[in-house]
Amino acid sequence: MLNLTGFRRLFKGLDVVDAPPAGAVRARMHIGGRWEHGTGRDWLRVASPATGEDLGYLPLGARADAERAIGAAVAAAPKLAGLTVWQRAGLCQAIAARIEARGAEIARMVCLEQGKTITEARGEAAAAAAAFRNAGEQIKWLETAAFPVEDGAKRAMSILQPKGAFGVITPWNFPVALPCIYYLGPGIATGNALVWTPAPTTSLAAALVMECMIEAGVPEGAVNLVTGEGPVVGDALVMSERLQGIAFTGSSAVGDSIAKRAAGKAQLLELGGNGPSVVLEDADLDRAADCISRGAFSNAGQICTATERVLVHVSVHDALVGKVLEKAADYVPGLSTEESSRVGALNNEENACKVDAHLAEAVAGGATIRMGGGRAAGMPTPLYYRPTVITGVPPESALHLDETFGPVVPILAFEDEDDLFRLAGLSPMGLSAALFTRDLSRAFRLAERLRCGSVNVNEASSYWEMHMPAGGAAGTRSGHGRTGGRHTLLAMSDLKTITFHVGG
């Protein structure tokens, strides 16, 4: 069996080695209160999609590492649950302070490891801190009820309790903000112990957040970081009978598998999005074009609620296309580390190839690329993509039906409302949509009818604030449960009813 030290091999586009070279940065996991490299035999070379430079080496954990982390979380859960609400709120505030103190360091790593612009990375680091602050405040005011009862000799009330221990699996598009907003902040605030498995390509940034939690005084074993591949360490969390809940943000295909394999656990699943941005004939086209472009090109289009497809009334199709092209011209790919850059790099080659494939299929089916359409030349890596506007997109194409996850604006025309809802309903996803119109009554009526968890009227589909509920519509492939503010706190808590016999 070939097992040479330092032997390199490519696995799903990732550069895996048996051992890092001497002097290289070696990331660590955190299990049961200890920093360690785990028991896995492989390491992932982490190269920056933005600059191409080596950032360090990540230990690819074994299933046994995840099992040890689960054991640590289960053992620590009673201690975290035993803290008062005010104590857990104070812990969240302390974590937020540590993230803020190390914000520049975290932002730099997010920029280099994820590929987004440094400006976007700073915003993400700030959002991660705000997530803990919000969770720490909201948990203090999450009141339950005392119930009127028919039996005069009884009294009834409800309380919130932690579910126990959660497995948390997070993606690479927002490697620190998303975990903190959706799961880590709410998990600690509600008293749940956690085992966190971040995406391998952005685990160095995740480790910095883990350091902040440890520095702030999280109880030993209450939060564990296990790095590695989803089918190995992630699957151990999904299948574990010792965890009470599983939280995942990622693709619909993986989420569907998790939902089946984690049957019986509490589940928070935020999956793929492909909601339409609908432009009606009376819309403010300048505002629509601005919001569409911002929704498509922010984070290089790698947002689950991004502008993935535009459905515009035929009477204003050409005018909207012209305005979108004008707005899109302002989004020029630039080195992610430069202050002036508006569009950074895509995170990985697999995702870039998907964008290539979706565009090629649409063009083969008769679509016309009006701007962009490929990789940006003269950049340090091939992961910079030119912002793209494409018209005449075939309704049956992947560009229209699937989540492309790149800086692309696909535009399709519709004739009337029946045609609009026929096109909107072709995609099986239903996360977030946008609707542009000046008619308030029509806005309410159509927003209620669109099969999405969120509909933003006269705003980009990607607009969201972290205290608002977000999630997929029932019956779609965009997940289930609601994340955001008190909704996540409730989802990660058990509502227990207690009755008292008081005499008589």
Which residues are designated catalytic? 270, 304
Q: Report DSSP letters for 339-386, one per residue.
A: TT-SB-B-S-HHHHHHHHHHHHHHHHTT-EEEE--SBPTTSSSTTBB-
CA 258 to chain centre: 16
Q: What span, in angstroms and rounded, lies between the C-alpha atoms of 355 and 348? A: 11
Q: Which residues contact 485 (CB under 8 A, 6 or more apart)?
A: 134, 138, 466, 467, 468, 469
Q: Quick one: tokens of 346?
A: 């895509």
Decide if 412 contacts 393 (C-beta within 8 A): yes
Residue ranges of alpha helices (H) inside 83-230 are: 85-101, 103-114, 118-138, 177-179, 185-190, 203-215
CA dist., res. 307 & res. 433, Å (int): 8
Instruction: Count CA atoms closer than 13 A to 73's CA, side-chain side.
Output: 33
The span from the CA of 26 to the CA of 102, in Å, is 20
Gap between the Cα atoms of 41 and 47, Å rounded:
20
What gap in Å lies between CA 128 and CA 106, rounded to an integer? 10
Q: Which residues pair with 56 in a beta bridge?
A: 46
* CB within 8 Å of 422: residues ≥ 6 apart: none
Q: Bridge-partner residues for 159, per DSSP?
A: 496
Q: What is the DSSP letter of 64?
A: H
